[in-house]
A and B are shown apart, each in its own frame.
Chain A
Amino acid sequence: MGRVIVVTSGKGGVGKTTSTANLGTALALLDNSVVAVDADVGLRNLDIVMGLESRVVYTSMDVIEKQCELKKALVKDRRVDGLMVLPASQKNNKDDIQPEQMKAICDKLRTMNDFVLVDSPAGIERGFRNASAGADEAIVVTTPDVSAIRDADRIIGLLQNAEIEPINLIINRFSPQLVGNGSMMDQADVLDILNIDLIGVVPEDSGVITSTNRGIPLVYEEGSPSAQAYMRIARRLTGQRIPIPNLENKGLFSNLVNWFTKKR
């Protein structure tokens, strides 16, 4: 039975879709079968980030309305085996889907796959409730700024109320330079507030935008630090214990120190 993981944030634009696409690809590259579900009904873009826009024929809406079989709506990735996307309808809106319908889809998908990653829309309303309805676990994405962190905190409270567990944190768009000169919160500050397990830190990287525009997930760029960060997060998701490198202090020694942080 596969795991259903919702990727969510509260605040918009912090990197949920980027994270879903890259983790989905990375997990598939590690020989897992993965379905990435776009739950951002009306504003779908997971298919674009993954370069699959032209292959979309059916959407989750068609499945719910019984216009097609779930299997037929899944779009196969063109680069790696075992990765599929369930696109969201672009012409509907979030209220057209009920949480139970999303849960039913996730439950069906988990019987056939190792991982079901659900790309949640921003916000705490229906779209979020739909996306988290079928999830056992969550990944909360935040950028290291106070407004994103406060929204992440809000979302974590809602996920805990829904008894979704574990809840892991990705800090995205992290900039060692900005932390160094005191204009960005450091990892410890973020963890002190959110008080959940950190599963990875993805650096600020202009390569993310170019990869989005080309429709090729970043993880294929082996030399890129953010690609490596996503690969490590995928490994941690599969249970491997890999230290989180300390981006704040690029010494050889300190890189070895910051082991997979357990904080509770």
Chain B
Amino acid sequence: MSNSTVVLRAYRDGLHLIIRPHLSITEVEAAIQQEISRMNRSLTGASVQIDLKSPTLKKEEIESLSFKLQETYDLTVRNVEIADEPVAPPIAAAPTTHVISPTTDIRNHQNSEPSRIVPHTIRSGQTEECPQGSLIIYGDVNSGGEVRAGGDIVVLGTLRGKALAGMNGRVSAVIIAMDFEPLHLQIGDYVKNSPVSQEPRGCLKIARIGAEDAITVEKFVKS
């Protein structure tokens, strides 16, 4: 994931451009450019709704943003929705109001931590754990098996059992697997039961806490 400050999502009513709070207009524009270049299909002629998570952008800024989206990407803004409650700044945030800021991407939040490699499939009844670092499994995690890590979890196979990343409350942790058929995913305090991923089998997928403040599973995109 290159950048989670701005996320483009397809919903039933069309595309939404979700903009996290506490960003300057320059940050937002840079993030939009990254997010759109990340998409591998053309957005030409599409319409988007802008979801602003807090009213930190000025009215003129939003107008100029809409204009730029039209000019640069041929994207029509059909609606702008602004969450009316201001959100507390991320520094003071309790674990529940975390923000995945540009500096906490998945590469650098675990610099010096040890990670542990398990060179085989985790079978039913088996548990593997790495409380201080990340866990890498060369195989599957089968139904009835469990993996837990303080950092990330990477499964080079199918995740069918239970996975708990960020076990000490670190909500920026992610779970990456070849295929997701898990019974139970947990990142920090966020829990998701039996998520189904729309992505095809055999391509890496990533679970993390997304812009909607819930665990999402999507195709893994290199940063």
Pairwise interchain contact B140-A195, C-beta atoms closer than 8 A: yes
A153 to B124 alpha-carbon distance, docked (Å): 6
Chain A residue nearest to B125 (CB atoms) is: A154
Contact, CB under 8 Å: A193 / B160:
yes
Residues from chain B with Cβ under 8 Å of A247 in the complex = none
User: In whole Å, how far is B213's beta carbon from the nearest beta carbon of chain A?
Assistant: 33
Report chain B residues within 8 Å CB of A157.
123-126
Min CB–CB distance B161 → chain A (angstroms): 10
Interface string of A153-171 (1 = CB under 8 A from B): 1101110100000000000
Q: Residue on B with the closest CB to A156? A: B123
Q: Does B195 contact A (CB under 8 A)?
A: no
B157-194, CB under 8 A of A: which get 1 and which 0? 01010000000000000000000000000000000000
User: A192 an interface residue at 8 Å Cβ cutoff?
Assistant: yes
Q: How far is the CA of A177 from the CA of B52 in the complex (A)?
A: 54
The answer to whether B158 touches A150, judged by C-beta atoms less than 8 angstroms apart, is no
Q: Is the CB of A195 within 8 A of B121?
A: yes
B residues apposed to A, CB below 8 Å? 121, 123-126, 139-140, 142-145, 158, 160
Give 24 A-B contacts (CB < 8 Å), ordered by A residue: A146-B143, A150-B124, A150-B144, A151-B124, A153-B123, A153-B124, A153-B142, A153-B143, A153-B144, A154-B123, A154-B124, A154-B125, A156-B123, A157-B123, A157-B124, A157-B126, A158-B125, A160-B123, A192-B158, A193-B140, A193-B142, A193-B143, A193-B160, A195-B140
Chain A residues at the B interface, C-beta cutoff of 8 Å: 124, 146, 150-151, 153-154, 156-158, 160, 192-193, 195
